[in-house]
Amino acid sequence: MSRRSKGHDYLGWALVATALLAPLPMGGIRAFFYMLYAAVVAVIGLFYAVGLYRGHVRPRLPLSNFAIPVILFGLVIIWMLVTLLPLDLAAAPEWAALSPLSDGAGRITIGPGATFDMLMRYLTYALFFVLALQVAVEKRRAKILFRAVYLGIAAHALIALASLTFFGDVLLFLPKEAYQGDATGVFVNRNSFATFAAFGAIMGVALIFGTDEEDVSRSGLSRILVQLGFNVAPLALIGLALAFSHSRMGMFVAALGAGLIALIAVFRSTGARRILAGVMIVAGLVAGAVLANTSGILFERMATVDRDADIRLAVYEQTLGLIAARPLTGYGGGTYEDAFRAVKSDPISPDVTFDAAHNLYLELAAELGIPATMAVVLSVLLLAGTTAVAAVRREDWMIPAAAAGVVLAGGVHSLVDFSLQIPAIVMMMMMILALGFAQSRPIQQGE
């Protein structure tokens, strides 16, 4: 093994470890913890840069290979920097009292501190993604890291189930303040954990339907044992934890992503795998119809959809009012809570605080403005679109298909929740997307 190959191996394991540890604690939502992980990613990037300088590693996937997403995301970063400058151009005086961080210096953002935090998060995500791309180009390494991520998510599922049952429904061995009776793992709420688990479920389905050269070389019994032990059993564990989260949308997006994999498998697989994929699609439809008429905590929660929807629709309507007031500039990254406080009205209780819009796209539009929001979303969609096309066209379709399914799940869940505002979930999505995008490119595999 060459020195360069070892360098990328070490980098790959460091990134996987970071993605799997990022949920500790509470999904990394506290400023101290996401800044800590930002520092970790920066240090990893520094070591990689030193390796590049000394010739120990070389870049495998230049930024020019995905120039349009890089430009779009780069423009968003520049825009956030602009909103922090005291330009005395677009600051509205009536917003000056909204945030204790607002200093009246004529900045576009009404909360410079919150915008700086968001800027740091986005720079961390970008650096993490670029580093993950470099290690994911080599096919064998990508498959090893993909499976390691999958098993790591299964370990999180095991922690969630143990915390819920064996340890008496705790969060990091402390009593829960909310979501009693729901599997949340090391996350604060069930929906965030459900999104994280849904990523693992989609990866598991891809592993079951995907083909592997090493798998083909094994005997029939060995293949069955490997499938059961390393693919099916972790998927069952993840599925069980997902069910015990009682997250309505989490279950839906997991099924949506898995359904995408199964649909691709119908066209890409042969023999037993194609039959299994078809059976899975039919079984999923039948199971959905049956479960819709059964009882249980999950479906008791489904009965509250109408009540929840009234509040959500009011939040969306009032957020649209915010966007209409400043459609181009927004109020600054990370400032949604402060801005929404000024327009909140009935039927939302004055005692209720909304630090998220429960819709990522509306929240981003309120914070960054419509043009910057479109740039963020389009940059991710272009990357995910490449993986989706590769899943249909390329021989090795498993990892690209999983990446497309994960982005689909995260994107749909973000229509009604704030999962992709959780740093740990974004980093995991970036890890899987990087693996899929790198394996979607026709690149020389040797180091």
**Beta-carbon count within 10 A of 180 CB:** 10
Residue 394 vs residue 241, higher pLDDT: 241
Give the number of residues written for the chain: 447
Confidence of residue 295 (pLDDT cuts 50, 70, 90): very low
Residue 116 sits in which domain range? Answer: 3-304+356-438
Residue 82 lies in a domain: yes
Residue 350 lies in a domain: no
- Minimum mean pLDDT among 175-179, 205-209, 282-286: which range? 282-286
> In degrees rounded to 5, what are phi and psi of residue 25?
-100, 155
Residue 153 lies in a domain: yes
- The structure tokens listed for 228 are 């059961």
Calculate the dihedral angle through the C-alpha atoms of 185, 187, 191, 193, rounding to the nearest 10 degrees: -50
Are 115 and 84 in contact, with CB atoms under 8 Å apart?
Answer: yes
Confidence of residue 6 (pLDDT cuts 50, 70, 90): confident
Measured CA to CA in angstroms, residue 423 lies from 19, 31, 166, 412 at distances of 10, 10, 28, 17
pLDDT of residue 430: 97
Amino acid at residue number 103 = D
Residue 230 lies in a domain: yes
Are 83 and 108 in contact, with CB atoms under 8 Å apart?
Answer: yes
Confidence of residue 281 (pLDDT cuts 50, 70, 90): low
* pTM recorded for the entire structure: 0.89
Residue 373 lies in a domain: yes
- Minimum mean pLDDT among 113-127, 129-143, 304-318, 337-351: which range? 304-318
Residue 319 lies in a domain: no
Helix (H) or strand (E) holding 94: none
Confidence of residue 270 (pLDDT cuts 50, 70, 90): low
Crossing angle for the helix pair 398-413 and 139-164, nearest 10 degrees? 40
| CA separation for the pair 386, 61 (Å, rounded) | 15
Residue 332 lies in a domain: no
Q: How far is C-alpha 446 from the geometric centre of its chain's CA atoms? A: 30
Residue 327 lies in a domain: no
**Running DSSP on this structure, what letter comes out for residue 85?**
S
Are 430 and 403 in contact, with CB atoms under 8 Å apart?
Answer: no
Helix (H) or strand (E) holding 100: none
Tell which residue, 166, 248, 238, has the closest CA to residue 199. Answer: 238
Q: How far is C-alpha 364 from the geometric centre of its chain's CA atoms? A: 16
pLDDT of residue 277: 63
Domain count for the chain: 1
